[in-house]
């Protein structure tokens, strides 16, 4: 079946540094990729939607200059958390969809801890 690979699975960084998270669709072309964030005991919240070759669409309240999303190819999207702060510590999950009625497939998530 379709597989979405997310890397790294866990990262610890210092406050003020930037972190890049990769999301790859391994056996299908993902025209659209989504980035979610999940705080402890909360539901997943959609951060942004990215379409290959175009600018990402951010949800209300998500800073586009802080969470940089690049979807340069049909199999790769990256999320860069710039100038990370402790409050950015969270679980970030990407998902990808092919086309039509294809269900969304999710990566295994990235646990970000900012110290």
Residue 53: left (phi > 0), alpha (psi -120 to 50), or beta? left
Stretch that binds other proteins, among 12-20, 32-40, 62-70, 76-84 (CB under 8 A): 32-40
Tokens of 112: 């970000």
Q: How far is the CB of 46 from other proteins (least distance, A)?
A: 5
Tokens at residue 94, please? 């990407």
Q: How many residues bind other proteins (CB under 8 A)?
A: 23
Residue 54 binds other proteins (CB under 8 A):
no
Determine contact, residues 5/94, Cβ cutoff 8 Å.
Answer: no
d(CA 10, CA 89): 11
If one asks whether residue 25 binds other proteins (CB under 8 A), the answer comes out as no
Min. distance of Cβ 23 from other proteins in angstroms? 11
Site for other proteins contains 62 (CB under 8 A): no
Report the chain's terminal Cα–Cα distance, integer Å.
37
Please list every residue from 80 through 99 that binds other proteins, using CB under 8 A: 91, 93, 95
Task: Decide: 76 and 98 in contact? Cβ < 8 Å.
Answer: no
* Residues lying near other proteins in the complex (CB under 8 A): 6, 32, 34, 36, 41-46, 49, 91, 93, 95, 101, 103-109, 111
């Amino acid at each position: 079946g379709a597989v979405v690979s997310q890397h790294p699975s866990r990262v610890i960084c210092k406050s003020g540094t930037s972190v890049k998270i990769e999301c790859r669709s391994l056996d299908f072309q993902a025209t659209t990729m989504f980035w979610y964030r999940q705080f402890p005991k909360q539901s997943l919240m959609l951060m942004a939607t990215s379409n290959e070759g175009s600018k990402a669409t951010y949800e209300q309240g998500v800073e586009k200059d802080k969470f940089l999303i690049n979807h340069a190819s049909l199999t790769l999207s990256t999320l860069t958390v710039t100038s990370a702060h402790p409050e950015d510590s969270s679980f970030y999950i990407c998902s990808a969809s092919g086309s039509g009625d294809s269900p969304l497939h999710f990566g295994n998530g990235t646990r970000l801890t900012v110290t």
